[in-house]
Chains A and B, each alone.
Chain A
């Protein structure tokens, strides 16, 4: 049972375009939703995160949109750059329960010139 579903599996965007990655979760007890970025040969690193009482969070070119009623959240990368090419994972956490990350299956993003 995949508790966090992520799409698309891969994404190709032109430089300067908008990259959009979507996630849906099942467990309404999740109370923290981070996105992790992973470059080849490296471990994931936190990119941006949101709590469910907020509908949107923006940090530079990265924005999370959160829809609590639909149990969905998405990552938008504005003005996508070749350096953004990486694998992106959404995740969900039930804080207080060991703070364990439940990951989506990942999206491989390629930004072309």
Chain B
């Protein structure tokens, strides 16, 4: 009963480096999301997907890219890491609007 799995849990990046945050879900959910959480700011939507092959920008997409080649996987790519991308990143999935299931998060620090 894995649900939504994110890797890695922690990562330190140097400015300008790139990385991919992995997210996979085993619930066959069509909808998947990436949020970032900053202290006092709540969770902000970065990108979302309504199904394999379909992605769209959320509220704060700059500096990120996504792909959705399968129902299960929704990786988030940071191309040129900046200190402003220091945050906790959450992936989520849902079948309907009634409940979104979140992963345990990836804590990213850019130095």
Contact = CB atoms under 8 A, between A and B. Distances in A.
Contacts, number: 60
A62 to B, nearest CB: 15
A27 interface: no
B104 A42 contact: yes
A98 B103 contact: no
Nearest to B102: A43
Interface residues of A, number: 24
B37 to A, nearest CB: 9
Interface in B27-86: 31, 33, 35, 40-45, 48, 50, 56, 58
State the majority secondary structure of interface residues on B. strand
Interface in A66-113: 89, 93, 95, 98-106
A98 B94 CA distance: 10
5 tightest Cβ-Cβ pairs between the two chains A and B? A43-B102, A103-B42, A99-B97, A95-B97, A105-B42
